[in-house]
Structure 1
Amino acid sequence: MSELDLDTFKPESAKELADGIIVQLAFILGTEWKKYKKEITQHVKVVAQRAFETRTLLAAGKITPSQADFELHGQEYYLNNIVLFSSFIPYVIAQKMMDAVFSVINAAIENWTGIDLLYGSRSASVAAPAP
Structure 2
Amino acid sequence: MSQDLFEAARDAMAFAHAPYSKFPVGAAIRADDGKIYTGANIENLSFPQGWCAEPTAIGCMVMGGAKKIVEMAVIAEKLALCPPCGGCRQKIAEFAAADTRIYLCDETGVKKTLTMEELLPLSFKTDLLG
* Bin for the TM-score computed over the shorter chain: 0.3 to 0.5
Structure number with the bigger relative contact order (C-alpha 8 A, sep ≥ 6) is 1
TM-score by length of 1: 0.32
User: Taking structure 2 as the reference length, what is the TM-score of the superposition?
Assistant: 0.33
Q: Larger % of helix: which?
A: 1
Greater percentage in strand = 2
